[in-house]
Chain A
Amino acid sequence: MHERSLVKNLLHQVQQIAAAEGNGAVEEICVQAGTLSGIEPFLFQTAFEDMASPILGAPCRLILEVVPLTALCNDCDHQFEVIDFKFRCPVCQADSVHVVEGDEVKLMSITVNSEEPLDGVTS
């Protein structure tokens, strides 16, 4: 169960980005993960709910999108969804393929709400 260490890593990156953007409250975080990302979505979500408040100082919503595992054939360039972890090109049967999406946990975006108007902006 290494989801906690990944969530902690994620939250520290979010904190840094938010600080660089003027320290507003982080309201929402969007994350993409595929079936080869090495996380279990439910455990990731639970770890996030546990750890977001203590690290960010306020509750925050996690949108976790599970993306399909996609590979590209090194022989014929065919791109396909890997089903049941069978890494073989369905077109030319080559077994030399590489993953193009679905083997990472990706921080896609964060939504920040600043109480004060941005520098130079008056409302």
Chain B
Amino acid sequence: MTRRTIIVKRDVQAKGKANAAAERERLGRRGTLVINILSSPGAGKTTLLEATARHFAGRRTMAVLVGDLETDRDAQRLAPLVPTVQLTTGGACHLELPLVQQGLTALGDPAVDFLFIENVGNLVCPASHDLAEHLRVVLVSTTEGDDKPGKYPKMFRTSQAMVITKTDLLPYLPFSVDAVTEDARQIQPQLDVLSLSALHESGVSDWCEYLEQQYQRQLAAYHEPAAK
């Protein structure tokens, strides 16, 4: 009998991360900004995407891949507005890159300006999965309470922006925009923070302006003269 210990020292997700980096590069280079939208269930992801689609209509092209455990209800809401594919995880609590790539193929891999991925409603597991996004945005709705960032540190640490949703309900709730912002910035000091009510379409144009800035920034980055 021979017993041997083989030293590996490898990130278990190394291959997935490398695949995501390659896909991000491919999509970025051709001018598509990929945005991964995350939140707990019902924070308003689909409602915000509906408002975003209405705002960008005739100005910017976009498509949506929407993930849920079951049903195509969200896709039915978005499909009248923009090209949409429902990704059904069949019980899995998060999206992974291969399923996203299948969805993109099903869409015909369109060279849109914005590709939105609405992740499964969950503040835990999706944080650990790179979907080739350029921008990770976490939504926190006013009804969830302003103490959420500290409870889900990985989600907030890995996001570039936090969007506070359902601000129309602020008068009725003990929710402080300052408190949630401070809590989130302990974890991610560089976090961009926006707030809006998608239902009343207030703050939506600032959100779209933010996306436009990110889009222009990326375009510039890929077209720098020295870019190889």
B75-95 CB mask vs A (1 if < 8 Å, else 0) is 000000000000000001110
Known contacts A1-B93, A115-B1; is-contact A17 B154 (Cβ 8 Å):
no
Is there a chain B Cβ closer than 8 Å to A85's Cβ?
yes
CA distance A63 to B128 in the complex (A): 22
B150-166 CB mask vs A (1 if < 8 Å, else 0) is 10011001000000000
Is there a chain B Cβ closer than 8 Å to A106's Cβ?
yes
CA distance A46 to B94 in the complex (A): 20
A109 touches B12 (CB 8 A): no
A104 touches B157 (CB 8 A): no
Instruction: Give chain B residues whose Cβ lies under 8 Å from the Cβ of A39.
Output: 128
Instruction: Give chain B residues whose Cβ lies under 8 Å from the Cβ of A104.
Output: 11-13
Is there a chain B Cβ closer than 8 Å to A105's Cβ?
yes
Is there a chain A Cβ closer than 8 Å to B115's Cβ?
no
A108 touches B8 (CB 8 A): yes
B125-137 CB mask vs A (1 if < 8 Å, else 0) is 1011100000000
Give the interface size bracket for A toward B: 35 or more
A111 touches B5 (CB 8 A): yes
CA distance A86 to B156 in the complex (A): 12
CA distance A87 to B189 in the complex (A): 7
B2 touches A118 (CB 8 A): yes
Give the interface size bracket for B toward A: 20 to 34
Instruction: Give chain B residues whose Cβ lies under 8 Å from the Cβ of A37.
Output: 128
The residue on B at minimum CB distance from A111 is: B5
A36 touches B154 (CB 8 A): yes
B186 touches A110 (CB 8 A): no
Instruction: Give chain A residues whose Cβ lies under 8 Å from the Cβ of B150.
Output: 84-85
Shortest beta-carbon distance from A2 to chain B in Å? 4
A106 touches B11 (CB 8 A): yes
Contact of A106 among B1, B12, B93, B96 (CB under 8 A): B12
CA distance A86 to B13 in the complex (A): 25
Instruction: Give chain A residues whose Cβ lies under 8 Å from the Cβ of B73.
Output: none
A109 touches B8 (CB 8 A): yes
A1 touches B7 (CB 8 A): no
A95 touches B189 (CB 8 A): yes
Residues of B within 8 A of A (CB): 1-13, 16, 92-94, 96, 124-125, 127-129, 150, 153-154, 157, 186-190
For this complex, 5 residue pairs linking A to B, each with C-beta atoms less than 8 Å apart, are A2-B92, A5-B92, A105-B13, A106-B10, A110-B5
Q: Return the 9 tightest CB-CB contacts between A and B, nearest first.
A: A38-B128, A95-B189, A2-B125, A85-B153, A105-B12, A104-B11, A111-B5, A114-B2, A113-B3
